[in-house]
Amino acid sequence: MKVTVIRSGGFAGVQRRGESDSGKDPLLARLVDRVDLTSVPPPGRIPDQFLYDIDIDGDTATVGEAQLNGPLRELVHHVLGRAG
């Protein structure tokens, strides 16, 4: 499965994008199995917080950094890499 994460917002407003294929990335495949995008709460409007647009094979969600926990958090940082 193709996983795309786009980070927007933050004080700097600098957008970051990461993409990975779970077919070639066993760690990502395990994370995808543990993530349920339908259960994430909508992002609150916190000034300058990071927002993450997550796309797993066409299933999408927008998550605020304050709500980013557990396997979804691991997935986001794994796909975005360092300082994501």
What are the residues binding other proteins (CB under 8 A)? 6, 8-15, 37-38, 40-51, 53, 59-63, 66, 82-83
Largest CA distance in the chain: 37
If one asks whether residue 59 binds Zn ion (CB under 5 A), the answer comes out as no
Sign of the CA dihedral 7, 12, 14, 19?
Answer: negative
24 binds, among other proteins, Zn ion, none (CB under 5 to 8 A by kind): none
What amino acid is encoded at 17 in this protein?
A: R
Interface positions, 17-56, toward Zn ion (CB under 5 A)? 47-48
| Tokens standing for residue 77 | 């940082």
Q: How far is the CB of 46 from other proteins (least distance, A)?
A: 6
Residue 7 identity: R
Residue 29 phi, psi (nearest 5): -60, -45
Q: Which does 41 bind (CB under 5 to 8 A by kind): other proteins, Zn ion, none?
A: other proteins
Where does this chain bind Zn ion (CB under 5 A)? Answer: 47-48
